[in-house]
Amino acid sequence: MLRSAAAVMATRRITQETFDAVVRENIEEFDMEDSEALKEAVEQFESQGVDLSNIVKAVPKVSSEENTEDQTHEVLQALESLKTAVASSSASVLEDLRAFTQQCSLGFAQRYLAAQKEAYPTILACCQRAAGEKEALSVALAALSALIDGQPDLLDVEGREFLMGALTAHQTDAALSCLCIRVVRHCCLKHENNRQDLVKAGMLLLLSASITRHIEHPEVVREACVALRVMTFDDDVRVPFGHAHEHAKMIVLEHNGLKVIVEAAKAHPGNTAVLSELCATLSRLAVRNEFCQDIVDLGGLTFMITLLADSLDRQELVKQVLSALKAIAGNDDVKDSIVNAGGAELIVMAMNRHMASAQVCEQGCAALCVLALRKPNNCKVIMECGGVLAALQAMKTHPAEVNVQKQSCMLLRNLVARTRDFSQLILEMGAEALISQALAAHRDCGDVGRAALRDLGCQVELRELWTGKKGSLSH
């Protein structure tokens, strides 16, 4: 497929050296101040469609008083100092590692530039040398985590073996475990091969065991929980088919993942940051009908309902709980359990409380939509607790958010699919006009919008679309 010229331009990149040369030229040839020269260079390249996300937008500094011609970026100065200290076994290695970590924490461009100058083997060597010294290993792991954040391709076989060995050797140390797991998370985000290789090496066992072993340490629980969730992602565009589903099943069936996470949630009833991550991970693990029921049986639903009731003002947490409720409601029996526990009322309350948040509205409508599917009694509860009014208000509040519009349309359709008596009430609330607006504004709402109008008893224009294939006339 041919891409447009604009698309090609948007992917153009330059080297740091090219950018620095233009900045230097602006200073030397056009007598600009540093800030002006930098601004001019940025505007020049961006006007040409160049992606500068990997470029350090700063004027290189003089690295030594002896040689004022020797100008380079601070992250490279820190890296060079570290390399010198490592080569000479200097006592300043830890100080240099900390300085390098601080530079990498400034942004992706600094990390990218350091990686281009062979930072990874230097940092990995520091980690390997420090294996038996807690302070040195902590500092080296922090540097590795900072460098590899957003650059999972850096991990090699040697690095993978080091991570497995370090996490195994220091599994009783909460702080070191947390640092190791953070590196694992960075290595696996958007990198399917790293995920598969680490899973084959036994990483899932180490992560789930870390949660159980350090259940009283919120940072370890949180990091390990996020790392487990990342193992179930399908976010690497370079790989056509990932193992997200298989990894989720392994976490549950081979490593008792559901019980591990629910028990961790019970151990941190007041820590919303931890609970939010635990809910998000449960959502990723509810990939089978029986898993959804297992979560309820283990007490997961009780903790979610209590959490939602107690934390209605916490928007991010509310969003994660709604997503988790939607996930486990894939089981028809669990639908009833959620509604019987007061879940529908709480979902509507959460939507009304955070009506300005498109994400909360989307997740709320989606959860109600699943609860209503094939369940007339649940539809009655949703109608009585104001679910339709909340969904319609969400459509009014977020007309440009296609996912809010789609989920609302699907909810309205599910409410009347088996209970036509609700149609008139819903239409009197103004549903037809809002659905029609969604149809006009969003092509992706076509099928669900027309289906909602049809099931509500409205006149629907069924446009025939010819796709060019035999028998492909569709409505």
Which residues have a Cβ under 8 Å from the Cβ of 161 and sit 6 or more positions away?
A: none
Take residue 176 and report the two structure tokens written for it.
Answer: 């070191």
Question: Which tens digit of pLDDT belongs to each residue from 213-261?
Answer: 999 999 999 999 999 999 999 999 999 999 999 999 999 999 999 999 9
Domain containing 448: what range? 286-459
Whether residue 344 lies inside any domain: the answer is yes
pLDDT of residue 10: 47
> Per the domain annotation, does 422 fall within a domain?
yes
Q: Which two tokens stand for residue 373?
A: 């599917």
- Cα distances from 284 to residues 24, 102, 184, 222, 291, in angstroms, run 50, 33, 18, 15, 11
CA 307 to chain centre: 21
376-410 residues labelled b (16+ CB within 10 A) or e (exposed):
eebbbbbbebbbbbbbbbbbeebeebbbbbbbbbb
Residue 251 included in any domain:
no
Is residue 334 over pLDDT 80?
yes
CATH of the domain at 361: 1.25.10.10
| Structural domain contains residue 121 | no
Mean pLDDT check: name the lowest of 1-15, 245-259, 377-391, 416-430: 1-15
Burial of 465 (0-12, 13-18, 19+ CB in 10 A): exposed
* Cα–Cα dist 265/74, whole Å: 43
- Mean pLDDT for all residues in the chain: 93
Q: 188 lies in a domain? A: no
In a domain, 363, yes or no: yes
Largest Cα–Cα separation, the chain: 86
DSSP reduced 3-state for 465: strand
Which residue(s) pair with 71 in the sheet?
A: 62
pLDDT reading at 183 higher than 50: yes
Query: What percent of the chain shows pLDDT beyond 70?
Result: 93
Give the separation between CA 396 and CA 426, rounded to whole angstroms.
Answer: 15
Output the six-digit token pair for 225: 């929980």
Residue 110 forms part of a structural domain: no
DSSP state letters, 272-319: HHHHHHHHHHHHHH--SHHHHHHHHHTTHHHHHHHHHHH-TT-HHHHH
**Structural domain ending residue among the three candidates 20, 43, 58:** 58
Q: Half-sphere exposure of 378 toward its Cβ, with a 13 Å CA cutoff?
A: 27
Number of domains in the chain: 2
In a domain, 223, yes or no: no
Band of pLDDT at residue 471, cut at 50, 70 and 90: very low
